[in-house]
């Protein structure tokens, strides 16, 4: 019970923070001269990587991880007496919330999955509306494209024969995906106002602690590869960025994102149809 209470408090605070910061705008440091000193480009790149990592750790842990754990507890509790004590696909006992199981869930689902989806968010955010509406659309697109193909609303998932009802599963995970998208937008905007460019500022000490986490994640590979490109290919990347953010590039990329979501929609609807009527 204590684990559920702690998770509930953390999740409530996470949602409150996302709501309070929902209208803030991400403020990035000025882009360095592509032909200027490589050290300036490296510091600018590290700022963005740090922003991605901090946003992923907060939104992934508090919303996707803790929120997902609460969602599973809710669905387990509404599964009826017959579901209690049975094993899920992940070998978790329905109706039992342990500290170890919660930590494992938050790490693998919240931190690792949250990191991957946060990278997608930063890659697409400039092509979405500003503010919380862009985060809301990202969360919806994430649910349509991945939510019914990987998790949590994957078709054929036998867990939905245990927990339920089906409509509560759909409503709960849809709300969680939308909340995660808004949290990504809100948190990244707020953190950008606090995070300094690496220098002599006392707050720069945060780079030491967080960069030590980089080797634990696939994020480390991304950081190194993009860092080398950014530092040694400044002029080329500047031309690519200019092409993508120009009027033609914006329209083309938005059309491509829209096409991807539209192409995934039939599969999404079929998966939702598979869930309808399932559960106790």
pLDDT confidence of 28, banded at 50, 70, 90? confident
Q: Is the pLDDT of residue 84 over 90?
A: no
Q: What's the rounded Cα separation, in Å, for the pair 145 and 263? A: 9
Predicted confidence at residue 249, as pLDDT, reads 77
Count of domains observed in the chain: 1
DSSP conformation class of 28? P
Predicted confidence at residue 93, as pLDDT, reads 61
CB 94 within 8 A of CB 160: no
Domain membership of residue 265 (yes or no) is: yes
H/E stretch holding 165 reads none
CB 19 within 8 A of CB 190: no
Domain membership of residue 70 (yes or no) is: yes
Burial of 9 (0-12, 13-18, 19+ CB in 10 A): exposed
Domain membership of residue 119 (yes or no) is: yes
Domain membership of residue 123 (yes or no) is: yes
CB 68 within 8 A of CB 14: no
Q: Is the pLDDT of residue 279 over 60?
A: no
Predicted confidence at residue 179, as pLDDT, reads 95
Residue 91 token pair: 């070998």
Domain membership of residue 34 (yes or no) is: no
Q: Calculate ∠ Cα 30-32-38, nearest 5°.
A: 145
Domain membership of residue 235 (yes or no) is: yes
Burial of 51 (0-12, 13-18, 19+ CB in 10 A): buried
Domain membership of residue 36 (yes or no) is: no
Domain membership of residue 31 (yes or no) is: no
Q: Which residues of 146-174 are buried (b: 16+ CB within 10 A; e: fewer)?
A: bbbeebbbbeebebbebbbbbebbbebbb
Please give the residue range of the domain that contains residue 214. 2-11+42-275
Average pLDDT, whole number, for the chain? 81
82 vs 167: which has the higher pLDDT: 167
SS (H, E, C) 64-122: HHHHHHHHHHHHHHCCCHHHCCCECCCCCECCCCCHHHHHHHHHHHHHHHHHHHHHHHH
105 vs 280: which has the higher pLDDT: 105
184 vs 252: which has the higher pLDDT: 184
CB 25 within 8 A of CB 189: yes
pLDDT in tens, 153-165: 877 776 676 676 7
């Amino acid at each position: 019970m204590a684990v559920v209470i702690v998770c509930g408090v953390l999740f409530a605070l996470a949602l409150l923070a996302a709501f309070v910061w929902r209208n803030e705008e991400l403020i990035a440091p000025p882009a360095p001269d592509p032909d200027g000193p490589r050290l300036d480009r490296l510091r600018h790149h590290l700022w963005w990587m740090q922003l991605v990592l901090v946003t992923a750790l907060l939104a992934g842990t508090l919303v996707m991880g803790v929120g997902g754990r609460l969602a599973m507890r809710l669905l387990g509790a509404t599964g009826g007496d017959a579901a209690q004590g049975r094993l899920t696909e992940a070998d978790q006992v329905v109706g039992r919330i342990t500290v170890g199981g919660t930590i494992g869930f938050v790490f693998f689902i919240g931190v690792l999955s949250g990191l991957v989806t946060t990278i997608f968010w930063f890659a697409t955010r400039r092509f979405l509306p500003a503010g919380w509406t862009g985060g809301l659309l990202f969360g919806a697109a994430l649910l349509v494209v991945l939510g019914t193909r990987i998790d949590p609303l994957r078709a054929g998932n036998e867990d939905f024969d245990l927990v339920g009802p089906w409509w509560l599963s759909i409503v709960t995970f849809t709300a969680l995906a939308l909340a995660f998208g808004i949290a990504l937008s809100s948190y990244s905007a707020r953190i950008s106002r606090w995070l300094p460019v690496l220098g002599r500022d006392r707050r720069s000490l945060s780079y030491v602690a967080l960069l030590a986490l980089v080797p634990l994640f696939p994020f480390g590979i991304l950081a190194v590869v993009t860092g080398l490109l950014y530092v040694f290919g400044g002029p080329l990347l500047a031309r690519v960025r200019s092409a993508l953010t120009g009027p033609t590039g914006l329209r083309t990329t938005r059309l491509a994102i829209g096409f991807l979501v539209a192409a995934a929609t039939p599969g999404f609807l079929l998966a939702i149809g598979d869930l309808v009527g399932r559960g106790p």
